[in-house]
Structure 1
Amino acid sequence: MTDFADLKKQWMKDPDFVAEYEALAPEFAVAGALIKARTLAGMTQADVAEKMKVTQSRIAKMEGGINVSVDALKRYAEATGTTLNISLDPMG
């Protein structure tokens, strides 16, 4: 299994990918954090879905950055044994 961080490192060598990634950074940040939490917990999307009492497709959508509520993020964190931290940082 290829590690997400290794793939990202490889992809970040491509200037076109970097430009698109930076344009979508907020969505990728959430998606990446969810996938990382699940992976570090040794869980599948189905495992997280079962703990959250939702479908696996809902987890896939969350991990794809589709309009995720703070409540859903809290439940995801609990399911993966992590904590949710939200910050608003200055732009620039």
Structure 2
Amino acid sequence: MDFKEYKAKVFAERPEVKEEYDALAPQYEIIRAEIESRRAIGMTQKELAERMGTAQANISRFESGSYNPSLAFLQKMADSLGKTLKISLE
């Protein structure tokens, strides 16, 4: 059984897990976007942290999902990656 099959099985058997997974989707979407952007330009966590004026540990915690960043942190991150931060309520 691959991960996709396992996830579908768990979601079918435990709707509360799917609900929590869906609730965390925006957080993991921004993490994924940051990691992809950083890697696409060949930047390390340490280099990003230096550009942002923060500690590498903060970048690591952000990427692991254990750090709830402020809007200012996300804006600095986007600027340091040469990206534009867009937030929407849908």
**2:29 is aligned with what amino acid?**
A
Shift of 1:64: 2.5
| Distance (whole Å) between structure 2 residues aligned to residue 34 and residue 53 of structure 1 | 17
Question: What CA RMSD, in Å, does the superposition of the two structures yield over aligned residues?
Answer: 2.3
Tell me if 1:77 matches 2:75: no
- Given the two structures, how large is their TM-score scaled by the length of structure 1? 0.70
Cα 1:82–1:69 shift into 2, 3 Å:
same
Q: Which has the higher contact order (CA 8 A, sep 6+)?
A: 1
**1:70 is aligned with what amino acid?**
L
| Distance (whole Å) between structure 1 residues aligned to residue 4 and residue 69 of structure 2 | 25
**2:56 is aligned with what amino acid?**
Q
Assess if the C-alpha contact under 8 Å between 1:48 and 1:80 holds in 2.
yes
Aligned identity (percent) is 39
| Distance (whole Å) between structure 2 residues aligned to residue 13 and residue 39 of structure 1 | 28
- Secondary structure of the residue aligned to 1:61 is helix
| Distance (whole Å) between structure 2 residues aligned to residue 11 and residue 62 of structure 1 | 24
- Secondary structure of the residue aligned to 1:24 is helix
Instruction: Please say which structure displays the higher CA radius of gyration.
Output: 2
Corresponding pairs, count: 80
| Structure 1 unaligned blocks of 5 or more | 1-9
**1:73 is aligned with what amino acid?**
L
